[in-house]
Amino acid sequence: MATFFQDVYSVWWADLRLLRHLWLRFLITSLVSPLLYLAAFGYGLGRNIEVEGAPYLNFVIPGIIALTAMNTSFNYAGNKLNVDRLFYKSFDELLMAPITGLSLILGKSMIGILRGFVVALLFLLIGAVVTQAQAGPLFLFTLLLTCLTFSFLGIAAALMAKSHQDMATFSSLILLPMTFLGGTFFSVDQLPELMRLFVYIIPVTHASQCLRASFLGNPFPWLSLLVLGGYALVFFAACMQLLRRASV
């Protein structure tokens, strides 16, 4: 058991070393898009609008947090792994190390979780200042689960990809639509029936719903949290399965 945690940390350790000089740049670059979303949608578009009984600004901030956590975790868990596997071949060294597949997958997800969580927290801080709202433990727990879910998705994508282009394609076809449709910028209740059904299939919707309810002090949608957890498990299982097939 101790070896298990040690192995997870060892895998994580290499990714952590790379942060050492780059953390400031990382934070600044990662905050660019959420701040732009905040400016364009929060202040530009929705200044005098109320949605679901809350000022639009308060409504949209948890949505932006959800999509930021999603994108950051996905990218940082997935992109480097993709390069390490296909281009640098350093992933082979991890495959040949005497560690279990479980520690390998968890270790590789940690950097995505860390980066996603830190950026989302930072943006939350900004959001809390401008809205005077508060985020409790449930908010943080959902946030963590969101980061975990999309780190796994990033790893699964990286293990599936046969080229760097595949990774970009995956991003445009899966992540980008989720960014805009996942109940992030608008209320899902306003949507036509069929589209609403679609929106409820995508995982980030459930992250937005939970984060928003907790942020606005509304009743917490436990079912959504459960669905999000379900997605985390599915993506994790996909990672394990893909890892088994990683050797060709």
Partner 1 sequence: MIRTEKLTKTYNNFRAVDELDLKVEAGELFGFLGPNGAGKTTTIRMLTTLTRPTGGEAWINEFNVSTQKFRAKQAFGVVQQHVSLDRELTVWESMELHARLHHIARAERRRRISELLDYVDLAGHYRNIVDELSGGMKRRLMIARALLHRPRLLFLDEPTVGLDAQVRRRLWDLIRRMNLDGATVFLTTHYIEEAEALCGRVGIIHQGKLIALDRPQELRRKVGMVAVETVSDGKGSDYRYFADRETAGAYVRTLPREVRTLVMRDSNLEDVFIELTGRKVKE
Q: Which of 93, 195, 217, 237 binds partner 1 (CB under 8 A)?
A: 93
Site string for partner 1, 43-82 (x = CB under 8 A): ----------------------------------------
- Residue closer to partner 1 by CB (options 7, 181) is 7
Task: Please say which residue, 6 or 190, places its beta carbon nearer to partner 1.
Answer: 6
Among 8, 51, 60, 94, binds partner 1 (CB under 8 A): 94
Q: Which is nearer to partner 1, 97 or 130 (CB)?
A: 97
CA neighbor of 245 nearest in space, from 152, 153, 112, 156: 156
Whole-number minimum distance, CB 122 to partner 1, in Å? 24
Least Cβ distance, residue 115 to partner 1 (angstroms): 16
Q: Distance between CA 32 and CA 75 in Å, rounded?
A: 15
Taking the C-alpha atoms of residue 178 and residue 67, their distance in angstroms, rounded to an integer, is 8
Which of these segments, 30-38, 71-79, 83-91, 110-118, binds partner 1 (CB under 8 A)? Answer: 83-91
Which of 174, 192, 195, 188 minimizes the C-alpha distance to 224?
Answer: 188
Q: Choose, by CB under 8 A, the member of 89, 130, 169, 237 that binds partner 1.
A: 89
Alpha helix positions (H), the chain: 2-37, 56-83, 90-96, 101-131, 137-160, 164-170, 176-181, 193-201, 203-216, 222-244
Per-position x/- string for 3-42, each x denoting binding to partner 1 as judged by CB under 8 A, each - no binding = x--xx-xxx-xx--xx------------------------
- What does the longest C-alpha to C-alpha distance in the chain come to? 59
Q: Is 185 helix (H, G, I), strand (E, B) or coil?
A: coil
- 90 contributes a contact to partner 1 by CB under 8 A: yes
Q: Which residues pair with 51 in a beta bridge?
A: 54
Tell me the closest approach of the beta carbon of residue 106 to partner 1, in angstroms: 14
Does 98 bind partner 1 (CB under 8 A)? Our answer is: yes
Tokens linked to 63: 């949505």
Smallest distance, partner 1 to C-beta of residue 234, A? 25
Partners of 50 in beta bridges: 55
Are 63 and 208 within 8 A, CB to CB?
yes
CA angle (185, 179, 87) in 5-degree steps: 160
Report the residue number, 104 or 178, with the smaller CB distance to partner 1: 104
H or E element: which one contains 58?
A: helix 56-83
Site residues (vs partner 1, CB under 8 A): 3, 6-7, 9-11, 13-14, 17-18, 84, 88-90, 92-99, 247-248
